[in-house]
Structure 1
Amino acid sequence: MKIGINSPVVVQLPGAFSPWEADAGIAELGTIAEAADTLGFDFLTCSEHVMVPTEIAKQRGGTYWDPLATFGYLAARTTRIRLATQVLVLGYHHPLAIAKRYGTLDLVSGGRLVLGLGVGSLEEEFALLGAQFEGRGAIADDALKALRAALSQSEPEYDGPHFSFRDVMVEPHAVQDQVPLWMGGRTLRSLRRAVELADGWVPFGLSPAELKDMIDRAGVPDGFEVVLAPATALDPAGAPDTAREQLGTLEQVGATSASVRIAADSPSHYVEQLHALAEISAGA
C-alpha cells in the first residue's frame, strides 16, 4: 500500500489542523514537500474551494489554497512525488480549462499530476460561480468523458450532451499518456462513477465497515486505486503501533493507497514525523 501526504497548511478544517499551520506559509510547506519527496511518499494533496460562506466555514473551514498555484510552486521544489488535487469540483470548470491549466502543470512537473475530481455539494458556491447545481451529477459524468478526451491531446475532439468541441488546439497539454483521475465522494454511486469513468476513488467520512461493503459491492477492477484516509491524524513517532494499526486497517478494507494527516506541533516536528512514518512504511 502506497502512502500519500494530506498536505498541511493548504486546508484548515476546524478541529483538524494544528495551530502552527495558521501562521505557516509556502516556505514551510515547501520544506515539508521536499522531505516527503526525498522519503519516497507517493503524493501530496491540495483541495479546492473558491469561497465558503462564513456560517458554513465554521464546519468546513474557510482556508483552501488554490491547487494550481500551490502545486506549481511545489513542482519546482520536488522531483518525483505526485501532485494530487483532492478534489477539484468539475462543475466549476469547463473540461478544456482543466485540460489546459492542469495539463500545463503536468508538463512543468514532469508528468506528476493526479486529478482528484468531485461532483460538488456546496450550492452557494455553485451559485456564486454561475455553475448549475441541479443535475450536476449528469454534467459531471459528461465532463469526465470530455476531460478524458481532452487531456494529453493537442487537438482534442468530443461530442456529448453538455460539452462538445473539435477543431481546437490545447497547447501545452499533459505529458502523461493517461493522467490518473480519482473521484471523490462518499456514496456507492460515487464509487460506481469512479469505476466506470475514472481510475480511482477517494472517499471521505465513512467507517471501515461501510468502505469494505461498498468496495465489495462495486467489484473494483485490477489496477483501480482506492485511496483511503485514517480516521485520525497519525503520530508515527509518538504512537507508532497505533499508526501501524490504522494503516493496516485501511489495507484490510481494500486501500491501495493511504492519504494520511500527520499530528505535529511545528514544521520541523512535521518533518520528524515524516521520517518516523517512512520507517514504519519500510518495515510493513
Structure 2
Amino acid sequence: MRFGILSPVVFRPPGQFNAWETSAGTAELVTVAEAADRLGYHHLTCSEHVGVPTRIAARGGGTYWDPLATLGFLAARTTNIRLATHVLVLGYHHPLDIAKRYGTLDRLSGGRVVLGLGVGSLKEEFALLGADFDGRGAAADDAIRALRAAWGQPVPEYEGTHYRFRDFLIDPHSPRPRVPLWIGGYTRRSLRRAVELGDAWVPFGLSPEQITTMLATVDPPEGFDVILTPPPLDPMADADGTRRHVEKMHAAGATMMNIVLRHRSVDHCVEQLAAFRQLFAEAEWSVPHEQVGTG
C-alpha cells in the first residue's frame, strides 16, 4: 500500500477542509508539501477548474488553484514526491498542450509528474470555455490515445477520431517515454476507460461496496492501481478509527490511497502527517526518487 495526500489549501470542498485553510496561502502549502516529501508520501495533488458556477460553488466548493502553476512551484521546493493532477479535464485542452506544458514540468521536476485525467461534468464550464460537452466522452478517449502517442516525443505523430497531428516540434518535452495516467470518474465507463487506456482508476462519490462490485466486472492489467480516498482521518486522536478506515479501503480494492487529515493548523497538519506515517510504518513509503532528464 502507498499513500499520497490530497493537498490542503488548494482545494476546499465542504466537509473536507479545515478552518485554518481558508486564510492559508503559499507558505502553509509549502510547509505541508515539504513535510510530505520528507516523510516519504508518494504524491501530492492539485485539481483543475477554471470557473465554477456560483450556485455549485456554494454547496460543492469553488477554490481550485491552477495545477500547472501550483505543481511547478512545489516542484522547486520538493525532491521526491510525485506531482499529480487530480484531475485535469481533458476537454479543456489539446493533447499536445498537455504534452508540452506538463512535459516541461516533468523535465523540470526530474520525472515526477503524474497525470490524473477526467472527462468533466460541469456543462456551464464547458460552455464558458467553448468546449463540446455532449461529445466529451469519445473525445476524451481519443485525447488519451493522442497523449500516449505524444508524450516524450520531439516530433509526435497521431491520427485518431478527434485529434490528428504530425510535423510539429515539441521542445522541450518530457524526458520519459511514458507518464502514469490516472483516470478519474464514478461510472462504469470511467473504469473501462482506466483499464483500457490508463494506469489507474481514481473513483469518487462511490461507496466501498460499489467500488468492489464495479472492480469485479473488469480484468485490470498487471500493475494497475486503484486509488481510493478514505474519509478525513485523525491518526493522533483516533488511531484505531484511522486503521479501520484504511483497512476498509484496502478491502474494497485500493492499492494506493489519497488521504485527507483533520488538523487545526499547519503545524498540526505536519504532526498528523508524521503520525499517520508512523501508524502505517509497514506500508510502502517512497525512497529517494531517481531524477530523470533535468538538463
TM-score range, shorter chain: over 0.9
Aligned partner of 2:219 in structure 1 is 219
TM-score, normalised relative to structure 2: 0.94
Q: Please, what is the CA RMSD of the aligned residues?
A: 0.8
Aligned partner of 1:149 in structure 2 is 149
Tell me which amino acid in the other structure corresponds to 2:169. M
1:139 lines up with 2:130 in the alignment: no
Cα distance in 2, alignment partners of residues 176 and 273 from structure 1: 34
Aligned partner of 2:105 in structure 1 is 105
Task: State whether residues 82 and 112 of structure 1, in contact with CA within 8 Å, keep that contact through their aligned partners in structure 2.
Answer: yes
Aligned partner of 1:202 in structure 2 is 202
Tell me which amino acid in the other structure corresponds to 1:203. P
Task: State whether residues 46 and 85 of structure 1, in contact with CA within 8 Å, keep that contact through their aligned partners in structure 2.
Answer: yes
Superposed displacement of residue 59, structure 1 = 2.0
Superposed displacement of residue 177, structure 1 = 2.4
Aligned partner of 1:92 in structure 2 is 92
Give matches, 1:41-120, under 5 Å: 41-120=41-120
Cα distance in 1, alignment partners of residues 22 and 10 from structure 2: 9
Tell me which amino acid in the other structure corresponds to 2:176. Q
Tell me which amino acid in the other structure corresponds to 1:246. H
Superposed displacement of residue 176, structure 1 = 2.2
Tell me which amino acid in the other structure corresponds to 2:122. L
Is there any run of 5+ residues in structure 1 with no aligned partner, and where?
none
Cα distance in 2, alignment partners of residues 59 and 112 from structure 1: 33
Superposed displacement of residue 283, structure 1 = 4.2
Over residues 40-66 of structure 1, what are the superposed CA-to-partner deviations in whole Å (9 max), with x where a residue is unaligned? 010001000000011111122110000
Cα distance in 2, alignment partners of residues 34 and 157 from structure 1: 38
TM-score, normalised relative to structure 1: 0.98
Task: State whether residues 14 and 58 of structure 1, in contact with CA within 8 Å, keep that contact through their aligned partners in structure 2.
Answer: no
* Corresponding pairs, count: 283
Is there any run of 5+ residues in structure 2 with no aligned partner, and where?
284-295
Aligned partner of 1:228 in structure 2 is 228
1:167 lines up with 2:193 in the alignment: no
Report 1 or 2 for greater relative contact order, CA contacts < 8 Å, sequence distance ≥ 6.
Answer: 2
Answer 1 or 2: which has greater helix percent: 1
Aligned partner of 1:272 in structure 2 is 271
Superposed displacement of residue 219, structure 1 = 1.9
Tell me the secondary structure at the aligned position of residue 142 of structure 1. Answer: helix
Cα distance in 2, alignment partners of residues 76 and 119 from structure 1: 29
1:242 lines up with 2:230 in the alignment: no
